[in-house]
Chains A and B, each alone.
Chain A
Amino acid sequence: QQPVQSPQAVILREGEDAVINCSSSKALYSVHWYRQKHGEAPVFLMILLKGGEQKGHDKISASFNEKKQQSSLYLTASQLSYSGTYFCGVLHFGNEKLTFGTGTRLTIIP
């Protein structure tokens, strides 16, 4: 069962902030975030394990609310290089298969 991502698309001006959400109807063990540029394979950004921790990667950070089975990806002071499609992937307890959401297309304009 795919996690639900929102929004489907975002357009930002350089320097603006964005939040991408990912939620699941089943208890989550961990959440992965990946970014994909057009014509390329997805690239790993970060993993969040249960425990509500927040992680950072440059000006991109994420949180994981295990009670709500949700994760959010925060992009602050966006740069042109942040453009791409962002995917969350989820792992559930007792299951090794990683399933992805439908993605959020982020466009940064100068």
Chain B
Amino acid sequence: NAGVTQTPKFQVLKTGQSMTLQCAQDMNHEYMSWYRQDPGMGLRLIHYSVGAGITDQGEVPNGYNVSRSTTEDFPLRLLSAAPSQTSVYFCASRRQGEGKLFFGSGTQLSVL
């Protein structure tokens, strides 16, 4: 089992560029989510999904789009990157209910 696979590990963007962070899980988890981590701010929820075709906003959704066409994949799109989006991004998945959260290895994104 690969678990949660997140790519890329590092990315540098220029302001205004767009990109997609990829996330895939092979555990048949219903719930998938994206978090960003900034110093002193903890893990803040960007978007989440409880199943294919269902997505919802988290605490900090502005500037990000998601879609969930399959159970396995949950990509995060930055439409027009801004320096404020410089952060470490984690994708995570779990079974619905009380299941523990499995994290990907993270993406360090810098927007210049």
Residues of A at the B interface (CB closer than 8 Å) are: 1-2, 5, 29-30, 32, 34, 40-44, 47, 49, 87, 89, 91, 96-103
Contacts and interface: CB of A to CB of B under 8 A. Distances in A.
Given A87-B42, A89-B101, 12 more contacts: A2-B42, A2-B44, A40-B106, A42-B43, A42-B101, A44-B100, A87-B43, A96-B50, A97-B56, A98-B45, A102-B42, A103-B43
Interface stretch (B16-24, B33-41, B75-83): B33-41
A40 B104 CA distance: 10
Contacts, number: 61
Interface residues of B, number: 25
Contact of B98 (A1, A30, A40, A102): A30
B105 interface: yes
Instruction: Tell me the interface secondary structure of chain A in the complex.
Output: strand
Contacts of B74: none
- Pairs A-B, 10 closest by C-beta atoms: A102-B42, A41-B103, A100-B43, A44-B100, A103-B42, A97-B48, A96-B50, A30-B98, A100-B42, A99-B45
Given A41-B90, A41-B105, A98-B33, A47 B100 contact: yes
Contacts of A41: 90, 103-106
Interface in B29-75: 31, 33, 35, 40-45, 48, 50, 56, 58-59
